[in-house]
């Protein structure tokens, strides 16, 4: 268990699964500067821990994340760095939020968002940055920035069309600030699973265990190429695929996987 104030980091070395919980239920897990910084540190911890093979990202108390804490914005009771009168200070103030988003998206391990309740603004962006999203019928999503005269400074304009699968739907949510209900999010493919509240934990853990049982070397390379491939033409992607497959073909994990098939047993991957 972590010693952070606003997040909880739990690791299971036996199952190779970590869970990172935004723990500000009284503020619907809205992010202030300190919570964002703690998220960045906790994500770095997970990324550097070879015993962790998959991360579950969630929120406490029936919400995923309500975005930036309104108390830290203009007119709020606890103004943060983004309310500075100096434009350079504001620009530099995005380093923490950007570190958090990039840490999720660039992490070599798969990240599952376990969502119960609202994911709004920066919380929606955080869910978009995850690889897999599992939610309940209580979940709802909103870009929100337009409602308070803001631009999505957490990377939303890059994330939305890629995760929603439609430039048109991304534009609609971006320009209107309307809620996206859970059933529509599932129909669009934004959500991988839509479950009843009582099944959220078990469904998420089933997915996490399945991933954690897989070969870590191949998993890391697959996630890397999944996202980098969006930037490549096909010829470049094929060359990169050959390089990545050369690594996996010479790995002990590959040898163990083929041996397990021949011996009709489950493989025991060690990430080598």
Tokens 């430039």 sit on residue: 167
**260 Cβ partners below 8 Å, 6+ apart?**
266, 267, 268
Report the alpha-carbon distance of residue 157 to residue 199 in Å, rounded: 32
Is 230 found in the same domain as 203?
no
Which range (41-55, 61-75, 153-167, 231-245) has the least confidence? 61-75
140-152 pLDDT, tens digit per residue, is 999 999 998 888 9
pLDDT at position 86 is: 77
Show the domain range for 52.
7-212
Which range (37-46, 161-170, 227-236) has the least confidence? 227-236
Residue 56 CB: number of other CB atoms within 10 A?
A: 23
**Greatest pairwise CA separation for the chain in angstroms:** 67
Alpha helices in 71-147 (DSSP H): 87-93, 95-106, 122-129
Which CATH number is 135's domain given?
3.90.226.10
Q: What is the mean pLDDT of the chain?
A: 92
Report the alpha-carbon distance of residue 61 to residue 28 in Å, rounded: 7
Residue 220: which of 58, 111, 113 has the closest Cα? 111
Q: Is the pLDDT of residue 128 over 60?
A: yes
Average pLDDT of the residues in 199-211: 98
Is 246 found in the same domain as 182?
no
Is 141 found in the same domain as 256?
no
Q: Is the pLDDT of residue 23 over 60?
A: yes
Is 257 found in the same domain as 130?
no
pLDDT at position 2 is: 62
Q: Is the pLDDT of residue 71 over 90?
A: no
pTM: 0.92
Which phi and psi angles does 9 have, rounded to 5°?
A: -120, 120
Report the alpha-carbon distance of residue 260 to residue 167 in Å, rounded: 44
Report the alpha-carbon distance of residue 75 to residue 209 in Å, rounded: 45
Alpha helices in the chain (DSSP H): 33-48, 87-93, 95-106, 122-129, 156-164, 167-176, 182-188, 200-212, 216-228, 234-249, 252-262
Is 63 found in the same domain as 196?
yes
The residue out of 175, 193, 212 marking a domain boundary is: 212
Average pLDDT of the residues in 235-248: 92
Q: How many domains does the chain have?
A: 2
Is 243 found in the same domain as 171?
no
Is 238 found in the same domain as 208?
no
Tokens 């998206």 sit on residue: 105
Confidence of residue 81 (pLDDT cuts 50, 70, 90): low
């Amino acid at each position: 268990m972590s010693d952070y104030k606003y997040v909880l980091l739990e690791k299971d070395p036996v199952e190779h699964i970590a869970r990172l919980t935004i723990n500000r239920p009284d503020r619907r897990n809205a992010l202030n500067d300190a919570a964002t910084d703690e998220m960045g540190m906790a994500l770095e911890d997970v990324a550097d821990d070879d015993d962790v093979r998959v991360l579950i990202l969630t929120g406490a108390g029936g919400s995923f994340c309500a975005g930036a804490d309104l108390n830290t914005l203009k007119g709020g009771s606890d103004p943060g760095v983004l309310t500075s009168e100096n434009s350079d200070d504001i620009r530099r103030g995005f380093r923490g939020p950007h570190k958090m988003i990039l840490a999720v998206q660039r992490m070599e391990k798969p990240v599952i968002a376990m969502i119960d309740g609202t994911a709004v603004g920066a919380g929606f962006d955080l869910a978009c940055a995850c690889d897999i999203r599992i939610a309940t019928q209580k979940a709802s999503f909103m870009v929100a920035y337009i409602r308070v005269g803001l631009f999505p400074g957490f990377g939303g304009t890059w994330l939305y069309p890629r995760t929603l699968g439609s430039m048109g739907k991304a534009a609609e949510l971006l320009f209107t600030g309307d809620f996206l209900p859970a059933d529509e999010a599932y129909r669009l493919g934004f959500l991988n699973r839509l479950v009843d509240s009582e099944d959220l934990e078990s469904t998420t853990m089933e997915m996490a265990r399945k991933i954690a049982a897989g070969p870590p070397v191949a998993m890391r390379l697959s996630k890397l190429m999944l996202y980098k491939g969006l930037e490549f033409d096909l010829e470049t992607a094929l060359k990169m695929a050959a390089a990545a497959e050369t690594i996996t073909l010479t790995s002990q994990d590959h040898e163990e996987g083929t041996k397990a098939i021949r011996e009709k047993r489950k493989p025991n991957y060690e990430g080598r």
